[in-house]
Structure 1
Amino acid sequence: MVRAAPTSPAPRAPRPSAPEDRTLRLFFALKVPGDVATPLAEAQRNLRGNWRAVRADQFHVTLAYLPTVPPERVDDLKRLGARLTEDLAPMQVRLRGTGYFPNEGSPRVWFVKVEAEGLDALAAALRDGIHALGLKTDDLPFKAHITLARKKGPAPRVPPLTFELGWQAGNAALIRSTLRKTGPIYDTESTFRLRGTEPEHAPQPAPHSPPPTPEETP
């Protein structure tokens, strides 16, 4: 009796490779000026254990976060930001006490609270406008804050601090976040000047200085 030779299983077709994720992580925010960022950075000296401090040049107040944005929709977001900020007056931003997210019982983020008249309304308008464009934002309720550090392992709590600091916010920005092993890299996609705010590069005239005569003009 002749036995049939065992047949080898047919080779499996290779799985199609997953499409490359080309979406961007973007957020609208108020940037923190250097004279406010410096004392906040000094407060980070209180960190112990596995707290990872946020770089001072990355301090900001997030207004709306978009985790997945197709590159071709960035211009839509730039137009949205320009439209919603063009009639806004500069905001007087005030810093208050520190706190934790999600709560003091299981802290993962150490932050300082932020207050400004009109800030909640701007954040809500941005999120509504983003959704109207068919794009997604995160589901977290808006709580104005500046993140100072993130917890990466066991670490003691930071003593509570209160800041009597503030600044006049004359600009908002659309920022791209690129994740790296060393931390996120932020690049500004667009800056939106609030009504009545001078461009950042424009020199301010000296107080009470008369305009130059034609002979004095260089």
Structure 2
Amino acid sequence: MSTADTLRLFVAVDPDQAAVADLGDLVDGLAVARPTPPGGSLRLTRRDAWHVTLAFIGEVPAADRADAEEALAHAAAPFAGASMSLRIAGGGKFNKGRFTVLWAGVAGDVEWLGALATAVRRELRRAKLPIDDRSFKPHLTIARPADRLPPDALAADIEALRSYAGPPWNVNDVHLYASELGPKPRYTRLFSANVGTVTLGGANERG
């Protein structure tokens, strides 16, 4: 968890409000969104926190924030004038048992998005910041139900996600976030870069 001396950082792009609302309508009908008894939380992710992670940096000294911002600015610059359209589509689960994670997929200009993710990771490495080297699979985390959802209900949720295709949105910005863990995770936008033009995002909290 982040402290006054450290920050838990990641880089992401965010779906627009129309995409969030449309996916939210689907999620409202899933088993993972139904009320659960005490101790049975399916850890549904709040829709105001939905994002597509490009790079996870993790816990670093707070002083490293400036290096992360500079790296993000350098990564975004070559994409000036580019046009990228994405949509939330498909879905599935990662892992199994108590590690099960339900996710929604991303379609559209995913090759462009992959190139942006590669650039972001390259510049973070050049800044000597730690990053998670897992292969890039663009997605939004919907819930972490673990093994608390009956298998047939989980299968039905996955099938609903697989057949889903939401409205397109244009990606204009990439963001550096700080995250705070806990029962109610909080994401604070620290910095944004858009089509090669760097803008300070300010302290914009989500969650």
Q: What range is the shorter-chain TM-score in? A: 0.7 to 0.9
Residue type at the aligned position of 1:31: D
Larger-gyration structure (1/2): 1
Matched, 1:139 2:123: no
Matches of 1:85 and 1:183 in 2, distance apart? 31
In the TM superposition, residue 37 of structure 1 has moved relative to its aligned partner by 0.4
Matches of 2:103 and 2:5 in 1, distance apart? 31
Matches of 2:98 and 2:179 in 1, distance apart? 26
In the TM superposition, residue 69 of structure 1 has moved relative to its aligned partner by 1.5
Residue type at the aligned position of 1:165: P
Matches of 1:93 and 1:21 in 2, distance apart? 36
Structure-2 residue corresponding to 1:24: 7
Matches of 2:132 and 2:196 in 1, distance apart? 28
Note the aligned Cα RMSD (angstroms): 2.7
Q: Is the CA contact (8 Å cut-off) linking 2:23 and 2:166 kept in structure 1? A: no
- More deviation in 94-103 or 55-64? 94-103
Structure-1 residue corresponding to 2:21: 38
Residue type at the aligned position of 2:50: F
Residue type at the aligned position of 1:93: L
Matched, 1:90 2:83: yes
Aligned pair partner of 1:168 in 167, 170, 180: 170
In the TM superposition, residue 159 of structure 1 has moved relative to its aligned partner by 4.1
In the TM superposition, residue 94 of structure 1 has moved relative to its aligned partner by 2.4
Matches of 1:146 and 1:173 in 2, distance apart? 15
Matches of 2:185 and 2:98 in 1, distance apart? 23
> How many percent identity over aligned positions?
30
Residue type at the aligned position of 1:47: A
In the TM superposition, residue 107 of structure 1 has moved relative to its aligned partner by 6.1
| Structure 2: gaps spanning 5 or more residues | 202-207
| Structure 1: gaps spanning 5 or more residues | 1-19, 201-218
Residue type at the aligned position of 2:83: P
Matches of 1:134 and 1:22 in 2, distance apart? 18
Q: Is the CA contact (8 Å cut-off) linking 2:76 and 2:120 kept in structure 1? A: no
Q: Is the CA contact (8 Å cut-off) linking 2:98 and 2:147 kept in structure 1? A: no
Structure-2 residue corresponding to 1:9: none
- More deviation in 130-139 or 43-52? 43-52
Aligned pair partner of 1:47 in 25, 31, 53: 31
Q: What number of residue pairs does the alignment pair up?
A: 179
CA 1:90–1:70: 2 relative to 1, 3 Å: farther
Residue type at the aligned position of 1:120: G
Larger RCO (CA under 8 A, 6+ residues apart): 2
Residue type at the aligned position of 1:183: K
Q: Give per-residue Cα distances to partners, 1:91-135, cap 9 Å, x unaligned.
A: 1112221111136x7761111111323111111121122122222
